[in-house]
Structure 1
Amino acid sequence: MSQAEVAVAVGVRAQTVPGFLALFRSEVGLTFRRARTIALLGILAALPVLIGVVVKIETDGESGGGGPAFVSQVTQNGLFLVFTALALTLPVFLPMSVGVVAGDAIAGEAAGGTLRYLLVAPAGRTRLLAAKFTAALVYCAVATGVVALAALATGAALFPMGEVTLLSGDSIGPGTALLRALLVALVVAGSLAGLVAIGLFVSTLTGSGIAAMATTVVLVITVQILDSFPQLHAIQPYLFTHHWLSFGDLLRSRMYWDNVLENLGLQALYVAVFGSAAWARFTSRDITA
């Protein structure tokens, strides 16, 4: 079914079921049926495998697990590969894939000529924008889950499994460690919410999907660079990437929530600001294409 046909179907269904739910289901389906999305998820799934294989090759035959804390822990327990993979993919690969999906949300429809069909259907611009946003959040959760599950499977295949030694030096059982991994994955997914709002706003500014995706990805890279300069320490706490790795505080015997909550609060602020900007732009935009 083409996007135009899906838009018409959504218009019909919106008369008999809640419009937002119909739009949301449609958007989620369209997002995960795209070849680009499948390719992005495939790359994300391959990265933990690559990390696990490299760590295995580099440490085979060696007496200890040297290297950074996360990596050295992998050699002692494969479950720690979940945390390592999330830590290594969060700064670049996860946000880049999210930037592609969020940046294409509105601009891709405009470039494909299907946006006017969606707006003709009795859905409303606000509900459409909300459906696009929530569908992108679902992608964040799925993408993070793909990384975590691929890392868990690879870690179980290549390394011993058992009690996990936390960064604080204490050990927890496998069941508790899996719960910690789930909690960390949820925090990582939530850490990308601000980027989704930014990408959606950028997507409302142009009719080119490629331009919106490229702008969002370049913005992520630029902010990461700004976050690395000590001279900019005054503004860094307000950058949406600054607290992304705060989930490390959850890998201690006593979990510390201050930085995690600060991170999630900052993401909520970005969602409020850029979500409002996207709504203001989209609801006042003249759609003629």
Structure 2
Amino acid sequence: MRLAWTLGLFRSELSVTFRRWRTLALLAVLAAVPVLVGIAVKIETSDGGSIGGGGPEGGGGPAFIAQVTNNGLFLVFTALAATLPFFLPMAIGVVAGDAIAGEASAGTLRYLLVAPAGRTRLLLAKYVTTLTFCLVATLVVAASALAVGALLFPLGEVTTISGTRIGFGEGLLRALLIALVVAASLIGVAALGLFVSTLTSSGIAAMATTVGLLITVQIVDQIPQLHAVHPYLFSHYWLSFADLMRDPVYWDDLVKNLGLQALYAGVFGSAAWARFGAKDIAT
């Protein structure tokens, strides 16, 4: 009975989240980024020129964008590299920040807790819904990029960052794996946003605070004098997904990234649970 109620609560949260105009608008913006990047690359190379900043030894987004004209599949990697530093985490921050605070500001949180859901199950349903949005948002970017890449550029064998060549099918599988890794890279942001959401009854304040923290962390990550703290920032290893395009795959930074995200999820998820459990819903 409890499992059925929990699943019902999760389905309800999914339905509410993905039917909101704000959520649909965020997904539309994310889908538009690969379109803009693809068109920009097509225009830039229409006279036979090339996009600078890449090559087999480059790594990351710049290396990918240099390969887009040769293989449209690289638009998937380029779009993910372009959206991961800001657009994707911002969208996650908006959804996570509004999860609890939005219900409180709308006056619906107390009614949700009247039902036999319990605070823990409600919080878990909110977090799983946010993680689902992480996955959907990432796949929207990847699918849009794949469609635009196929329309504007040729498809075929894929040249890895290491300079070796793999078949298109294997390249497509690696693109899917990269999308999954990018989605997993956002679970720390989701937990942070959910924690912030339990601290206030204003959805706008929670969303703004979460996005502000995202920007602050990424600024800190770019200051050389603070290099000692860089490995502990949730965004530090985000672009390590490029290592999946090496042959063989370089796993060290990927494992560090996933471990760091799990740590942030554990710490801020526990903090959110402790705060929400003691929160006065009547106020």
Per the normalisation by structure 2, the TM-score is 0.95
CA distance in 1, matches of 2:30, 2:185: 17
User: Which residue of the partner structure matches residue 63 of structure 2?
Assistant: 69
The code of the aligned residue for 1:142 comes to V
Report SS of the residue matched to 1:73: coil
Q: Report if aligned partners of 1:65, 1:76 keep a CA contact under 8 Å in 2.
A: no
Pick from 47, 58, 76 the counterpart of residue 44 of structure 2: 58
User: Which residue of the partner structure matches residue 109 of structure 1?
Assistant: 103
Q: Report if aligned partners of 1:19, 1:127 keep a CA contact under 8 Å in 2.
A: no
Aligned: 1:22 with 2:8: yes
CA distance in 1, matches of 2:201, 2:52: 50
Report SS of the residue matched to 1:76: coil
Q: Report if aligned partners of 2:71, 2:158 keep a CA contact under 8 Å in 1.
A: yes
CA distance in 2, matches of 1:17, 1:94: 31
CA distance in 2, matches of 1:20, 1:268: 23
Equivalent runs, 1:198-237 vs 2, <5 Å: 198-237=192-231
Aligned: 1:164 with 2:164: no
Q: Report if aligned partners of 2:41, 2:51 keep a CA contact under 8 Å in 1.
A: no
CA distance in 2, matches of 1:138, 1:107: 19
User: Where do 5+ consecutive residues of structure 2 fail to align?
Assistant: 54-61
| Shift, 1:63, TM fit | 4.7
CA distance in 1, matches of 2:42, 2:4: 51
Summarize the Cα distance change of 1:102–1:168 in structure 2 as closer, same or farther, 3 Å threshold.
same
| Shift, 1:19, TM fit | 2.2
| Shift, 1:66, TM fit | 2.9
CA distance in 1, matches of 2:282, 2:49: 67
User: 4+ residue runs of structure 1 moved beyond 4 angstroms?
Assistant: none
User: Which residue of the partner structure matches residue 121 of structure 2?
Assistant: 127
CA distance in 2, matches of 1:31, 1:150: 21
| Shift, 1:18, TM fit | 2.0
CA distance in 1, matches of 2:210, 2:3: 34
The code of the aligned residue for 1:282 comes to F
Q: Report if aligned partners of 2:157, 2:166 keep a CA contact under 8 Å in 1.
A: yes
Q: Report if aligned partners of 2:44, 2:50 keep a CA contact under 8 Å in 1.
A: no
| Shift, 1:258, TM fit | 1.0
The code of the aligned residue for 1:42 comes to A
Pick from 73, 81, 91 the counterpart of residue 87 of structure 1: 81
Pick from 229, 239, 243 the counterpart of residue 237 of structure 2: 243
The percent identity for this pair of structures is 69
Q: Report if aligned partners of 1:246, 1:259 keep a CA contact under 8 Å in 2.
A: yes
Pick from 130, 134, 137 the counterpart of residue 136 of structure 1: 130
RMSD: 1.1
Q: How many residues align?
A: 275
Aligned: 1:33 with 2:19: yes
User: Which residue of the partner structure matches residue 184 of structure 2?
Assistant: 190
CA distance in 1, matches of 2:160, 2:3: 48
The code of the aligned residue for 1:258 comes to D
Report SS of the residue matched to 2:72: coil
Per the normalisation by structure 1, the TM-score is 0.93
User: Which residue of the partner structure matches residue 153 of structure 1?
Assistant: 147
Deviation readout 1:62-87 (Å, 9 max, x if unpaired): 25443331111101100000000000
| Shift, 1:198, TM fit | 0.3
